[in-house]
Structure 1
Amino acid sequence: MSRRKFLAASMAGSAAATLSLTSGAFGAALLEGYPDGMGVLVDMTRCIGCRSCEAACNKEQQLPAPEMAFDDPAAFDYSYHAGQKRRTTEAAYTVVNRYEIQGEEQPVYRKIQCNHCNEPACLTSCFVNAYTKTKEGAVMFNDKVCVGCRTCMVACPFNIPAYSYSSAFNPVVKKCVFCHETRLKNGLPPACVEICPQEALTFGNRRDLIKIAHQRINDNPGRYVDHLYGEKELGGTSWMYLSSVPFEQLAFDTTLGREPIISNVKGFLGAVPMVLAIWPALFTGFHLLATKNKHGEGHQADHPIQEDDKQ
């Protein structure tokens, strides 16, 4: 086979792979969630920042011991980057952050974990189908097929998926799994919900939780902001929040709108599988051209591959 034909075949194969990957990535862009899916209502007016939920998650998912003990209040002052609050990592699927709000006598605590979106951007952006949405509401991740492209990290509007940089041989994405395998699929609440001493976390059918949340807002005028975060944001999420202060003061993104995020990033994410497919072919072409020039064959248009080229 000639170099030119070999290169053409490589590019053609990559183009075909690109079309296949791109179509597969967005084939299920509109999942519409599951009407009978479960969820959790987080009432931040009840949270006292005890971090029991962090400890329960750590034990349930058999995660490494934290850098700071779960009863160490100094953890609230710790940040991975200057000026930023703690975020979820490969070793912590949920974290609680403290916010000092001007005019409020007590700090407000916010629990952060995967929100298990009804129409997950991580799922629809993954071109190897490493994500699935279960009927119970959990967004699950299969590390056996993950290729480490981290497209899901770019797509997630809540900045949740964390990358396992600690492993050079198995660098995969880590995040909250809603305790699906050990609890959720058996009708049991997640470990973090079960342990909460203040009943700040309420587990149940998502539709019922929405009713409970609005009932609390109506029955307690002045206690809550008149909004249930996660009810409609980006098509809705399984984890929803009630707050006594404006959500933007607790680092919630209040500009997301109701349309699933995937509708706004399809063009960008579509280029990711294309790059991954074409890049090897481009390097192959560069290598062949360099070899061709090295052997002084640049003047020949279609020269057969020599034995020394095959070695």
Structure 2
Amino acid sequence: MAKGILVDIPKCIGCESCSVACKLWNELEWDPQEKTKTATDRAKEPNNGLWPEEWTSINRYNLQKNGSSVGRYVKTQCMHCEEPACVSACFSKALQKLPQGPVIYDQKLCVGCRYCMMACPFDILRYEWKKSIPGVRKCQMCPTRVTNNQETACTSVCPTGAITFGDRDELLAEAKKRIRKNGYVDRVFGEKEAGGTSWLYISDTPFEQMRFRTDVTTKPLPSYTEGYMKMTPFIGGAWATILAGLYVFNNKNKEPLD
């Protein structure tokens, strides 16, 4: 059964234990400049605080609720779509969707085309522009743990139960029960967006006020792209043949220099 993670936004206190656990488990580098930023700073960034070495980000939004000012922390990372557009766009198979839920990335197979970045409806993937051999970086949803029926590193350290790991269907039912009980916004973000995602969010404040992509289609995005992306290797091969032919034609009459 596919796994998922339920994020109960009002329960998050912004302690960032999940961010630390993510870094430690995935052996990610620590950026001194990123450590000085606050959750409010990250919420204002165009990239939502995600960088090649920052796979999860906690962002704080100052909102109004019932006439009072409230702060809400939102954990941001790859949504691990049920039918990922990034996987559909990746003709080299560097990105794959596991039956248990994680969308994983193998840099050894990546050709650096960055089609996955353009395909992602949530603008999550980050490219290692500064490296000589760059790759695409994002949350992997701890595949070695999840495939062995263990919870993710981030959920294992959450002190308030703001993020809960489990079977996606059961989490979805739990999310709807909490919505009714707590008077939350009547929506589970991730239930249908982009065809559904492994990460599910519930909130007592409007999602659009916390920079959620509420305009994302509910139709699985690969249905829009698969027919075209299957032609990419053939087009690339044909173009390489044309360029080789032009090179031979342009150089066949040239005399070698003495």
TM over 0.5: yes
C-alpha distance in 2, partners of 1:114/1:78?
Answer: 16
- Aligned counterpart, 2:151: 189
Q: Which amino acid aligns with 1:142?
A: D
* Unaligned segments of structure 1, at least 5 residues: 1-35, 296-307
1:266 to 1:64, Cα distance in 2 relative to 1, 3 A = same
- Aligned counterpart, 1:50: 15
Match of 1:166 among 99, 123, 130: 130
Partner SS for 2:5 = strand
- Aligned counterpart, 1:301: none
C-alpha distance in 1, partners of 2:248/2:64?
Answer: 64
Partner SS for 1:101 = strand
For normalisation by structure 1, the TM-score amounts to 0.75
Of residues 144-153 and 56-65 in structure 1, the stretch that sits farther from structure 2 once superposed is: 144-153
Shift of 1:281: 2.7
Q: Is the 8 A contact 1:126 1:152 kept in 2?
A: yes
* Unaligned segments of structure 2, at least 5 residues: none
- Aligned counterpart, 2:115: 151
1:74 and 2:34 matched:
no
Partner SS for 1:189 = coil
- Aligned counterpart, 2:178: 216
C-alpha distance in 1, partners of 2:247/2:191?
Answer: 53
Match of 1:106 among 43, 66, 70: 70
1:263 and 2:223 matched:
yes
- Aligned counterpart, 2:25: 60
Whose strand fraction is larger, Structure 1's or Structure 2's? 2
Match of 2:248 among 288, 308, 311: 288
Shift of 1:69: 6.4
Of residues 106-115 and 36-45 in structure 1, the stretch that sits farther from structure 2 once superposed is: 106-115
CA RMSD after TM alignment = 2.4
Q: Deviations over 1:44-82 (max 9, x none)?
A: 111122211111100110000133465x56353158xx8
Partner SS for 1:45 = helix
Sequence identity (%): 39
1:97 and 2:62 matched:
no
Number of residue-to-residue matches in the alignment: 255
- Aligned counterpart, 1:236: 196
C-alpha distance in 2, partners of 1:161/1:88?
Answer: 8
C-alpha distance in 2, partners of 1:95/1:204?
Answer: 21
Match of 1:253 among 204, 213, 228: 213
C-alpha distance in 1, partners of 2:98/2:205?
Answer: 33
Shift of 1:293: 6.0
Q: Is the 8 A contact 1:40 1:202 kept in 2?
A: yes
1:235 to 1:86, Cα distance in 2 relative to 1, 3 A = closer
Partner SS for 2:109 = coil
Q: Deviations over 1:185-229 (max 9, x none)?
A: 2222111111112210011110110111000011122xx110000
C-alpha distance in 2, partners of 1:74/1:97?
Answer: 8
Shift of 1:178: 0.9
C-alpha distance in 1, partners of 2:47/2:93?
Answer: 31
C-alpha distance in 2, partners of 1:208/1:110?
Answer: 22
1:66 to 1:259, Cα distance in 2 relative to 1, 3 A = same
Match of 2:46 among 75, 81, 84: 84
Q: Is the 8 A contact 1:118 1:236 kept in 2?
A: yes
